Chain A
Amino acid sequence: MANYYNDNENLNFHLNHPLMKKCVDLKEDNYKDAAHFDFAPLDFEDTMDTYNKTLEIVGEICGDIIGPNAESVDQEGPQLKDNEVIYAKGTSQNYKSLVDAGLIGMSLPRKYKGLNFSIVPYVMAAEIVSRADAGFANIWGLQDCAETIHEFGDDAIKDEFLPRFFDGATAAMDLTEPDAGSDLQAVMLKASYNEEEDQWYLNGVKRFITNGDADISLVLARSEEGSSDGRGLSLFVYDRTEQKVVVRRIENKMGIKGSPTCELVFENAPAKLVGNRRLGLIKYVMSLMNSARLGVGAQSVGIAEAAYREALKYAKEREQFGKAIIHYPAVYEMITNMKVKTDGIRSLLYATSRLVDIYKSYGFLSEGRSLTPEERKDQKYYSRKADMFTPLLKLIASEYSNEIAYDAVQVHGGTGFMKDFPIERIYRDARITTIYEGTSQLQVVAAIRGIGNGSYLKYIQEFEAQEYNEDLNTIKSRLIKMTEKFEKIVTIVEKDKMSELWDFHARRMVEMAANIIIGYLLLDDAMRDMNYKKSADIFTQKGMAQNEEKFNYMENFDIKDLEHFQLSS
């Protein structure tokens, strides 16, 4: 009888952000679908009501089915039998209930049997599912592949594959290989074109593929013979019914154990080209990865929420020295920090989702009509901002979810180290989030561009230009001081024009920017609901102290100090 949507007021708060009007209006394009589909919304209010009610369904399934199944799924895990991946019993039940509820292909257009949802409620559903079972969230979240086919595939491929998602087809994105992990340009799996048959064939090995035995797989392969970089790669779609892929093994992992991670061998597997040749990595996979990073952001927030709740519950129940441990400063500080961090990354998650939603909707609109110059300008603004917010989200949310899970185990004491409580699983599940879909270190590589070209500073100044309640002035002036220090340190690090030093300090500078941006987002939240003032206050106080520390370290760092760190192989 649990409902993971209704029991968390923060979700409804973020769903009802003022910018949703713009998101929904763009997504529904004058609500014109209402004339053709009896399940299409009539207007903005109707759409929001539908989002709310649909998330209630997600919350119910997560509270009643997926959450309670998480432990057995973690223990049982998937099995490999006759070249087929058999999900744990709970996993199959979870997936079936989401298919029955019509929740696969949520953001696809109605003509492909989708619900045409804005990305915001879709991401929210991902957060809720992740809170229930982070490993299962991967299997469900791979419907992102449908989004990629929709965005880049031709009509024939869209008509063939997209409606299958709603009917329950599972998906996988087959990118990494034994020698191509973070460096996807090194992908070797070969795609060869047979002119007589007008057919592509795939040969080679893929490794660490989540849900590798899925019904529909997107495969990154080298289509251009003799090429050696990313420009020789194309994206293909492979249909499992072809039976030309051997699942060599399922990896035995630390966490997210319900999600099958496979090693695959493609043996002359027929596949279809998605979009254009040579754009596989540089355009399509980059887009797919951005969605996946948003997905990991949602997963991280879901894990953080789960961990926080476990810690809070335990601290209220557990008594030591004659009272519940939640009354001791050492414990309540940890728990309050968990809450503040979760509020912060959730705010960043939905801010990013709205940005992505708006620029993508413009993209789909432009297929039907040409955009006005203002619209094109607007799209560019949101697209660039989304590109800057996404790595920040992936970096901070995943790192925080690990910190929160770590502290939540700590609150449980010895009990948390045992397998008796869910927190032990949550802690293991959290660990992957800073690694896959681009490590934290790679997110810094993406984000540091925004420090160098002044993008983050520009977005911070937009916040600064906003009017806030007088009540919030203390927090705002704190953020202004933090911004001054941020600008100053960037100038200092830039001064020597030494790229290695810049890279060495990159993470520190990115984290300073993140502290300011999340601080402002929480301040925006407090403007709409004063309950968030506490989080904004605590977050910026800690953020300011952290930024001071980073500032001092960088300011006093001599270029020669870099040598102490450099190691010879």
Chain B
Amino acid sequence: MSFKIVVLAKQVPDTRNVGKDAMKADGTVNRAALPAIFNPEDLNALEFALQVKDKIEGAEVIILTMGPYRAAEIIREAMYRGADKGYLITDRKFAGSDTLATSYAISLAVKKLGSFNLLVAGRQAIDGDTAQVGPQTAEKLGIPQIAYAEKLIEVNKEEITIKRRIERGVETVSAKYPIAVTVHGSADSCRPRNAKKLMQFKHSRTLTELKNEERENAELYKSRPYLMIEEWSVADIKADVEALGLSGSPTKVKTIENVVFQAKESKSLGDSNQEVEDLMIELIDGHIIG
């Protein structure tokens, strides 16, 4: 019996090291100024999936991503780290989708993959910070979910036990398959790219990418068919166009504000323990630390 793990991952603009030109004058994100990266918590999710794969013989990790054609880079990145293969859900008709429309499309793609045991996603993406797509996808697939996973405790072909982070502590839960898991940033960081896998998969391409490339190497793709990354359109996943894009998205962005944090007046502290303690209490109460 095979064991299938599906990982959802997203390519996002790197908002962690924002420079001066990160926002345009109209308040929207200047994507050109921000490099496209593998969403950080999706890397934790991938590591989680790979740890399951390490423990279950014959397990397969499939990476699924939705985005423009250049998001195929995410699939390659995942394969360099140990994923077995990937699919790119891409179509202009997806543009403007909110979390509801996105989870609808993803759930259809997961169904197209056939039966699976484990669906893993990062808790949230750093561009939207909604933390909704993973749980909504699970809901649409009608499977239970464990959110905020932090550590894989035990896993076998029947059951998985996970430690999850909750507001004031941790909780250890077990579940049978199929199950969806969203992984928290406090979980293990993803393993590095493997040099040999990089060499194996660096030529993997989607058909669209191949068309855009100058260099032709049809022979290579004929002899190594696993280098072709499949692209799925709206038609491929049999989605209702109305439920996608702007028409399928009840969430509308009203305005975007450019918030600039400014250092206001500083606070001077004396050297007594009491003053330090008071500050600690203030910071904890204000949920700034702790």
Binds A, one of B97-105, B156-164, B192-200, B261-269: B192-200
Kindly list chain A residues whose C-beta atoms are within 8 Å of the C-beta of B224: 38
Is the CB–CB distance between A101 and B193 below 8 Å? yes
Does B220 lie at the interface of the complex (its beta carbon under 8 Å from any beta carbon of A)? yes
Q: Are B202 and A102 in contact (CB under 8 A)?
A: no
State the CA gap A97–B191 with chains docked (Å). 7
- Verify B202–A103 contact, CB threshold 8 A: no
* Inter-chain contact B199/A50, CB cutoff 8 Å: yes
Interface of chain B residues 216 through 267 with chain A (CB within 8 A): 217, 220, 224
Q: How does the 8 Å CB contact mask read for A1-22 relative to B, with 1 for contact and 0 for none?
A: 1000000000000000000000
Q: Please, which residue of chain B has its CB at the minimum distance from the CB of A50? A: B199
| Complex interface: stretch among A52-60, A386-394, A527-535 | A52-60
A39-47, A173-181, A551-559 - interface stretch: A39-47
Question: What are 22 sample pairs from A and B whose C-beta atoms fall under 8 A apart?
Answer: A38-B224, A39-B196, A39-B200, A40-B199, A50-B202, A53-B202, A54-B195, A57-B193, A57-B195, A60-B192, A60-B193, A61-B192, A97-B192, A101-B191, A101-B192, A101-B194, A102-B195, A103-B195, A106-B195, A115-B195, A115-B196, A115-B199
Q: A38-B224, A42-B220 are in contact. Are A54 and B191 (CB under 8 A)?
A: no
Closest Cβ–Cβ distance, residue B200 to chain A (whole Å): 5
Docked Cα-Cα span, A40 to B202, in Å, equals 11
B200 near A102 with CB under 8 A, answer: no
Assess whether A41 is in contact with B195, with CB atoms less than 8 Å apart: no
Smallest beta-carbon distance B253→chain A, Å: 29
Query: Contact between A100 and B196 (Cβ–Cβ < 8 Å)?
Result: no
> Which A residue's beta carbon lies closest to that of B200?
A39
Q: How far is the CB of A54 from chain B (nearest CB, A)?
A: 5
Evaluate whether A102 and B196 lie within 8 angstroms (CB atoms) in the complex, with A38-B224, A50-B202 already known: yes
Chain A residue contacts of B192, Cβ below 8 A: 57, 60-61, 97, 100-101
Q: Mark B176-202, 1 if CB is under 8 A from A, else 0.
A: 000000000000000111111111101
The yes or no answer to A159 lying at the interface (CB within 8 A) is no
Docked-complex contact B196 and A53, CB < 8 angstroms: no
Chain A residues whose C-beta falls within 8 Å of the C-beta of B17 in the assembled complex: 1
Chain B residues with CB under 8 A of A42? 217, 220
Are B198 and A50 in contact, with the CB atoms below 8 A?
yes
CB closest residue in chain B, given A53: B198
Q: How many of chain B's residues have a CB under 8 angstroms from any CB in A?
A: 16
Chain B nearest CB, measured from A310 CB (Å): 22
CB pair A100 B200 closer than 8 Å:
no
How far, in whole Å, are A106 and B195 apart by their CA atoms in the complex? 9
Bound together, the chains give a CA A53 to CA B195 distance in angstroms of 8
Are A39 and B199 closer than 8 Å at their CB atoms? yes
Proximity string of chain A (43-81) to chain B, C-beta cutoff 8 Å, 1 when within and 0 when not: 000000110011001001100000000000000000000
Hey, which bits of chain B sit against chain A, CB under 8 A? Answer: 16-17, 191-200, 202, 217, 220, 224
B199 contacts A100, CB within 8 Å?
A: no
A contact residues around B191 at 8 Å (CB)? 97, 100-101
Q: Is the interface of A mostly helix, strand, loop or mixed?
A: loop
> Are A49 and B202 within 8 A (Cβ)?
yes
**Separation of A100 and B196 alpha carbons in the complex (Å):** 10
Give every chain B residue within 8 A of A100 (Cβ-Cβ).
191-192, 194
In whole angstroms, what is the CA distance A41 to B200 when docked? 9
* CB-contacts of A133-151 with B (<8 A): none
What residues on B are CB-neighbors of A115 within 8 Å? 195-196, 199
Which one of B197, B198, B217 has the greatest number of beta carbons of chain A within 10 Å? B198
The one of B193, B196, B199 that contacts A41, using a Cβ cutoff of 8 Å: B199
CB of A38 within 8 A of CB of B200, answer yes
A42-B224 Cα distance, complex, nearest whole Å: 13
Residues of chain B contacted by A97 (CB below 8 angstroms): 191-192
Minimum C-beta distance from A168 to chain B (A)? 13
Smallest CB separation, B63 vs chain A (Å) = 18
Is B220 within 8 A of A102, CB to CB?
Answer: no
Per the bound structure, the CA–CA distance linking A115 and B199 in Å amounts to: 9
Known: A57-B198, A102-B196. 4 other contacts (CB 8 A): A39-B196, A54-B198, A97-B191, A115-B199
Residues of B within 8 A of A41 (CB): 199
A residues near B196, Cβ cutoff 8 Å: 39, 102, 115
Smallest CB-CB separation from B199: which chain A residue? A39
A40, B199: Cα distance in complex, Å: 7
Q: Which residues of B contact A101 (CB under 8 A)?
A: 191-195
CB distance from B78 to the nearest CB of A (A): 15
Complex Cα gap A38–B16 (Å) = 36
A106 surroundings in chain B (CB, below 8 A): 195
A1 to B15, CA, bound (A): 13
Q: Nearest residue in B to A65 (C-beta to C-beta)?
A: B192
A248 CB to nearest chain B CB (Å)? 36
CA distance A41 to B17 in the complex (A): 35
Which residues of B have CB within 8 Å of A53? 198, 202
**Which residues from chain A contact B199 at a C-beta distance below 8 Å?**
39-41, 50, 115
Instruction: Give CA–CA (A50, B192) in the complex, Å.
Output: 16
Contacts of A1 in B (CB 8 A): 16-17
Q: How far is the CA of A97 from the CA of B192 in the complex (A)?
A: 7
Indicate with 1 or 0, residue by residue over A76-117, a CB within 8 angstroms of chain B CB atoms: 000000000000000000000100111100100000000100
